[in-house]
Amino acid sequence: MRKNEVNILEHELVPKHEIISEKEKEELLKKYGIKSLRQLPRILSSDPVVKAIGAKVGDIIKITRKSPTAGEAVYYRIVVRGE
């Protein structure tokens, strides 16, 4: 990281993002009855956080957000090609 560069992953408004493993991917698809990855919400490969964690097209990102009612809320996104 260059001088005066900000690490977006450390910003308080950016929720935790992580790439899930192949095993976790299989479990996710089975748990929710997802037949095609196209059924998942998308996140662009050009997204700054996607770039920061090194995710590639086809990876599934697990996003964990703080929730005032649930404590934590988990979302999944598939990385798609995008500018």
Residue 16 lies in a domain: yes
Residues 64, 66, 72, 74: is their CA dihedral positive or negative?
negative
Total domains present in the chain: 1
Residue 30 lies in a domain: yes
Residue 24 lies in a domain: yes
Neighbours of 50 (CB within 10 A): 22
**Host domain of residue 39:** 8-80
| Res. 1 pLDDT band, cuts 50 70 90 | low
pTM of the model: 0.86
What are the tens digits of pLDDT across the range 11-45? 888 999 999 999 999 999 999 999 999 999 999 99
Residue 3 lies in a domain: no
Residue 2 lies in a domain: no
For residue 46, what is the domain's CATH number? 3.90.940.20
